[in-house]
Amino acid sequence: MKKLWLAALAVLGIASAAFAYGFYTPAPDGNYDDNNVLVDPAGSGIERIQESVVRIIAAAVLKAENREIYHSDGRSTGGMVIAGRYVLSVAHGIAPDGEIATEVPFEGTIREPAKKISEIFVVTGTTDRPSVPVKLVYINRKIDIALFELPASVAIPSFPYAVGNSDDLKVGNFVYNVGYPFGLGVNVRSGIVSSLHPPKEILKGLEGLPELDPNDYFMESSGLIPNDSGTPIFAIRDGRYELVGVASSVNFDFNQLGVAARINGARDAILNDCAACPDDLKRFFSAPPAGNGAE
């Protein structure tokens, strides 16, 4: 009799475990995932994304309006190669017209209005490829994105997955950002969508940008580091990687709180506002997501 009871308990335990596993096992549902369980572990998806991430150096010359004073303005951001020959990055990596600050003994800092008179952009090289100049195609400071074009002779792997729909994001969705922290190389971090709309206080204070609309951004928990700006943030929909944001580290006082420009804003601007954007670039942003993110 005792053996029968033990057998019954064993069967009950196995049945309970099987039920619990079936109840809690993630299944495709058409939404962005809160984990990476459905991603095929045999794939090389993140490695392929890493290959598309680059560093952009911008060097500008500013001239004071009232005197022959020149000032260099150097900026470093990240970016990602898309559609074969373009680089998507951030607008705040491009110097605006602004002011020149000069330190004067016994008087402190003198600030003078200034205009930008020249600027060059370079995608920096690595051990595998040289540095190359790139051409600015489009800039939108309201949603903090910029687009550059690579020379026709340069081949850098593109972001290999589809553009997602950042309107579908929910708090708790799992995300990766593939950054370029401190300009020291590509670095992968994971996190979750922590807020769908950043507080306005976090969106203030970045030079050259107007007042930003929280509806154009979301927050993620892994934090952003200087030079991460412009690099991809991607989510997982039923195991497929999709590009949902562009890292935008907009206020160093809140550097542990990651802020991303929503990819929908970039899509709308490129499809509807960018007269200089060619057809192949627009096709990249208008194509529907397809395929598995971990092929």
Instruction: Compute the mean pLDDT over every residue in the chain, rounded to the nearest whole number.
Output: 85
Residue 168 has pLDDT above 70, yes or no: yes
Query: How confident is the model at residue 140, as a pLDDT?
Result: 94
The answer to which of 84-93, 104-113, 265-274 has the lowest mean pLDDT is 104-113
* Residue range 226-278, pLDDT digits in tens: 889 999 999 999 999 999 999 987 555 656 678 999 999 999 999 999 998 99
Q: How confident is the model at residue 210 (pLDDT cuts 50, 70, 90)?
A: confident
Work out the percent of the chain whose per-residue pLDDT is above 90. Answer: 53
Average pLDDT for 7-17: 55
Query: How confident is the model at residue 2, as a pLDDT?
Result: 54
Q: How confident is the model at residue 99 (pLDDT cuts 50, 70, 90)?
A: confident
Average pLDDT for 101-122: 85
Query: How confident is the model at residue 23, as a pLDDT?
Result: 57
Average pLDDT for 195-201: 88
Residue 295 has pLDDT above 50, yes or no: no
Query: How confident is the model at residue 54, as a pLDDT?
Result: 94
Residue 188 has pLDDT above 70, yes or no: yes
The answer to which of 80-94, 106-120, 154-168 has the lowest mean pLDDT is 106-120
3-state secondary structure the chain: CHHHHHHHHHHHHHHHHHHHHHHHCCCCCCCECCCCCCCCCCCCHHHHHHHCEEEEEEEEEEEECCCCCEEEEEEEEEEEEECCCEEEECHHHCCCCEEEEEEECCCEEEEEEEEEEEEEEEECCCCCCCCEECEEEEEECCCCEEEEECCCCCCCCCCCCEECCHHHCCCCCEEEEEECHHHCCCEEEEEEEEECCCCCCCCCCCCCCCCCCHHHEEEECCCCCCCCCCCEEEEEECCEEEEEEEECCCCHHHCCCEEEEEHHHHHHHHHHCCCCCCHHHHHHHHCCCCCCCCC
